[in-house]
Amino acid sequence: MRSRIQSALPCLFLLAIAAPCAAQEAAKIVEQYAKATGGAKALSRIQTLTLEGTVTRAGDGKSGTYTLDTKQPNRYYSELILGENHLIEAYNGKSAWHQDGSGAIATLTGSDSMELQAAALIANTRLLNLKRNKLTLAFLGHANVLGKDTAQVELTSPAGIKREFFFDPQTHLIAKESGPVGGVEEDLIYSDYRAASGVQIPRQIELHRGSDTFAIDITQAVVNGAIGERVFDLPLKSQVHLPDLKALFKELDGNQKAIDKIREDYAGTRIEDETDFDSDRKVKKHEVNEYTFFYFSGEEISTLVKKNGKLLGESEQKKETEKAQKRIEEIQKSEARKEAKEEKAKQEGRTEEKNKDDPGIETFLRTCQFVNPRRERFRGQDVLVFDFEGNPEYKPRNLVERIAQKLAGVVWIDEKAHDVARLEAYFASDAKIGGGLLANVQKGTGFVFEQAFINNEVWLPTYEEAHVGARVLLVKGFRISQVTRYLDYKRYHVDVQSVVGAPKPQ
């Protein structure tokens, strides 16, 4: 036994040092690339980059024009025009969108959106300041690119999207870049590097996109030229007149009680898949928990039934039931206190003030600005879609407003049902709580919330996704990815006064 342990020690040692060595090797390769491209200082000065040229599709010989615009911190616009066909992929810092060959323009969602966001972020970093942008490196080994041996490095975004870069060991420049963009796999093979404003830029690009191959000849490369924000926004022809948002949000807010009442007739299952990562995006912990739930007074009341696929024991089930009962009692007491306060205020001829730290609709109206309104179809319903971002001219008055002002994203609203169908948001900059002493929610932390129109009467949650990076009390840092799925909705009547979590079918 002892000899087996001794013989295993060298292997264990190699495994222990393999990951750090791989990370160091990847960092060294990227450092050599930065130096070969013009130096980290020159690369860091790039605020905008425009590439323009001609493109020819290999399949039919059709030719046209190519444009790529990038702008700090995360703007991205790629355009291929071949005759009447316009292929556009863009990210404006709030929403990802594309125009396909038929001319249809649509906002991207889910992994398609995250892939384009990752491509935009990585393109603007120039492979610098990766830690600050929450990007992690991994050396994958060596690969053949057009007959040349290259060093293969993988870059992972905060949301877990991966892109691969292949570096020429002689020139240290990028020979190839691969990864999904907007739901389509792309390979870009770079050659004929020439300097523009002291930075090496490829003048020949071979683009493999899905089943198509394009030959791109870059005729003009402009570093730090003027690029307006409108370049990255959806075309004006796709936009509509934005309704009175104050009135719209007031309708949504006023309709919430009616929505909450309908929701109380539904119960379902919720599955939470949570992964905790260390600073190098290695998995520290992975859990999958399953709950049954119903709605009470606008709140989701949940009971844990499975942990990592295993049913809870009898004593654990009892604790979960008691926990749910306790939460219902707390809600009932809170509502009773609220009603008493409102009644007292009414008798005294005044209106009970809303908690200033309650992040209501008014908070977003004050702290954000709303742009790019358009009408689209979402899950078979007509919805109003618009982007939002912090209003730089507004001076926040409290913590909630300071946090809300740092958000950017896109929202889908069903005007007819007066509810939010989907919401994507992320922190455009770090959000410090207590001056950063209590917590610091890191830039790039984002979340997605999605609903479905159930039984043609109410929008109910179907999907949530969160990628959180934060540091607590200046010491403990953590990174979590969580995906929550809601399923098996059934129309029930729940008698919370009798058996918690045991709904009665209508």
| CB-based contact 299:331 (threshold 8 Å) | yes
CA distance 211 to 185: 9
> Alpha carbon of 375 to those of 97, 381, 395, 423: distances in Å?
13, 10, 31, 15
pLDDT score recorded for residue 122: 95
Q: Tell me the C-alpha distance between 78 and 81, whole Å.
A: 10
Q: Bridge partners of 311?
A: 306
Q: CB under 8 Å, gap of 24 or more: what pairs does 366-372 form?
A: 366/391, 366/394, 366/401, 367/391, 367/394, 367/396, 367/401, 367/404, 367/405, 368/404, 368/405, 368/407, 370/242, 370/245, 371/94, 371/233, 372/92, 372/94, 372/95, 372/233, 372/234, 372/239
- HEC string of 413-429? EECCCCEEEEEEEEECC
The CA-based diameter of the chain, rounded to the nearest angstrom, is 86
User: Angle at Cα 370 formed by Cα 366 and Cα 373, nearest 5°?
Assistant: 150
Burial class for 340, CB neighbours closer than 10 Å (0-12, 13-18, 19+): exposed
Average pLDDT over residues 197-203: 96
User: Across the chain, what does the average pLDDT equal?
Assistant: 86
Runs of H (alpha helix) within 239-303: 245-263
**What are the tens digits of pLDDT across the range 265-285?**
999 999 999 998 876 677 889
Q: Let me know if domain 12-236 sits in CATH 2.50.20.10.
A: yes
DSSP state of 173: S
What pLDDT shows up at residue 12?
Answer: 38
- What 3-state class would DSSP assign to 263? helix
DSSP class of residue 135 equals -
In this model, does residue 502 exceed pLDDT 50? no
Indicate if the alpha-carbon torsion angle 26, 142, 204, 188 is positive or negative. negative
Tokens at 451, concatenated? 């609903």
Going from N- to C-terminal start, the domains of the chain cover 12-236, 240-348+361-505
Predicted confidence (pLDDT) at residue 196 exceeds the cutoff of 70: yes
Say whether 74 sits in a helix, a strand or coil. coil
Cross-strand partners of 138 = 154
Q: Do the beta carbons of residue 218 and residue 203 sit within 8 Å? A: yes
Helix (H) or strand (E) holding 393: none
Tell me how far apart the alpha carbons of residues 380 and 360 are, in angstroms, rounded to a whole number.
Answer: 28
Q: Is the pLDDT of residue 154 over 90?
A: yes
- Whole-number pLDDT of residue 476: 62
Burial class (CB in 10 A: 0-12, 13-18, 19+), 40: middle
Helix (H) or strand (E) holding 11: helix 2-37
**What does the pLDDT read at residue 4?**
40
In degrees rounded to 5, what are phi and psi of residue 13? -65, -45
Q: What is the DSSP code string of 345-365?
A: HHHTT--PPPPTTS--HHHHH
Give the containing element (helix H, strand E) for 314.
helix 314-347
What is the pTM (predicted TM-score) of this model? 0.80
- pLDDT, one tens digit per residue, over 424-466 is 998 888 877 766 556 778 888 888 999 988 888 888 999 999 8
